[in-house]
Amino acid sequence: MRLTRLFALTGAVLALLVCGMLGRLLWGEWLHYRAAGTGHQTLQLMQRAMVAAEKLSFERGPVNAVLGDRVPADPAYRERLRRARADTDLALARLRDEL
């Protein structure tokens, strides 16, 4: 076998080995990237769930004000309750869309 042919063959084998190692590294990094993306989506879902729970909890105040008021509830209390329910409905709709 000629020396130039041996060098070419050795160079090709080395290039193939380096490409194989780079491919393996890239595959591992791609898997880590996908896992990080999934984690980010999970965090967004948790954030939406926490906002919805916060809005539900905040709605209790206006509900208690209306329930504890006289029979025809004060319009200001009712308006505050309406706004709180609208905020809660929006937060729950966003959570439902995320799921």
Q: What's this model's pTM, rounded to 2 decimal places?
A: 0.59
In DSSP notation, 18-85 reads HHHHHHHHHHHHHHHHHHHHHHHHHHHHHHHHHHHHHHHHHHHHHHHHHHTS-SS--HHHHHHHHHHH
Length of the chain: 99
Domains in the chain: boundaries: 3-98
Taking a C-beta distance cutoff of 8 angstroms, is the pair 51, 76 a contact? no
Per-residue pLDDT averaged across 26-48, rounded?
90
Amino acid at 3: L
Between 38 and 29, residue with greater pLDDT: 29
Query: Hey, what amino acid is at 72?
Result: P
Nearest C-alpha neighbor of 91 from the set 43, 42, 58: 58
Q: What is the pLDDT of residues 47-92, one digit of tens each?
A: 999 999 999 999 888 888 888 877 787 888 889 989 999 999 999 9
